[in-house]
Amino acid sequence: MKLLDKCRAIYKGDILAGSFYLFIGSIFILISIALYAWATTPGFLQLGVGLFVFSIFSIGKGVLTMSIYRKRLDFYQRLEVLSAKDLLEEKTYTTFRLGKKEVNRRRYIYMVIIGSIVGVAGLFLPGKSYIVSTAIPVVLYSAIEFAVGLMAEFRLWEYHRSLEKGSDLSE
């Protein structure tokens, strides 16, 4: 597979990840509407509000991700040959993305751990419905971000190795 085709494939995968965020956001918004409509306790109402906030965040991230990587995919779709300048820019951008993924991976793990501890501890506190229903969306979204980010990071590392080789630049 030519390097230019790998460039196109990585951005198609990123667009697919963006559409996954749209899907997750849609699921969260449907659940939050159902909870808001049929909530019988303050905890369920608060859970609906928390899921609604994260659904807006997820939908926004999906739209932004898809638009950014659609532009990059369109750029590589128009190219017929990957120049040395394009290769250098792509290496720099991929290295930046890998660094960002590494930092975010730690943040999401910390959020899952802290949110889980807060959620369990909240079961024994007076305002348990509010504490638990606030912790659940945070832990859920952090875990989803961690999983999607880890899959993207695996793809980026393989792509980065291909960019470092850059052997089929003339193909």
Task: Please state, for a pLDDT cut of 90, what percent of the chain lies above it.
Answer: 73
**Token pair recorded at residue 28:** 């969260």
* Residue-wise burial string across 128-140, b where 16 or more C-beta atoms lie within 10 A, e elsewhere: ebbbbbbbbbbbb
114-122 long-range contacts, CB within 8 A, separation 24+:
115/139, 115/142
**Token pair recorded at residue 147:** 């999983």
Identity of the amino acid at 145: E
- Across the chain, mean pLDDT equals 91
For residue range 91-121, list pLDDT tens digits in order: 999 999 999 999 999 999 999 999 999 999 9
5-12 long-range contacts, CB within 8 A, separation 24+:
6/159, 6/162, 7/76, 7/82, 7/90, 8/73, 8/76, 8/77, 10/155, 10/156, 10/159, 11/69, 11/70, 11/72, 11/73, 11/76, 12/73
For residue range 20-72, list pLDDT tens digits in order: 999 999 999 999 999 989 988 888 899 999 999 999 999 999 999 999 999 99
Q: What is the mean predicted confidence (pLDDT) over 107-136?
A: 92
Least confident window among 11-25, 66-80, 92-106, 126-140:
126-140
CA distance 73 to 12: 7
What does the pLDDT read at residue 91?
93
For the entire predicted model, the pTM comes to 0.88
What does the pLDDT read at residue 84?
86
What does the pLDDT read at residue 1?
62
Report yes or no: 163 and 90 within 8 Å, Cβ to Cβ: yes
Identity of the amino acid at 74: D
Q: Is 101 exposed, middle or buried (0-12, 13-18, 19+ CB in 10 A)?
A: middle
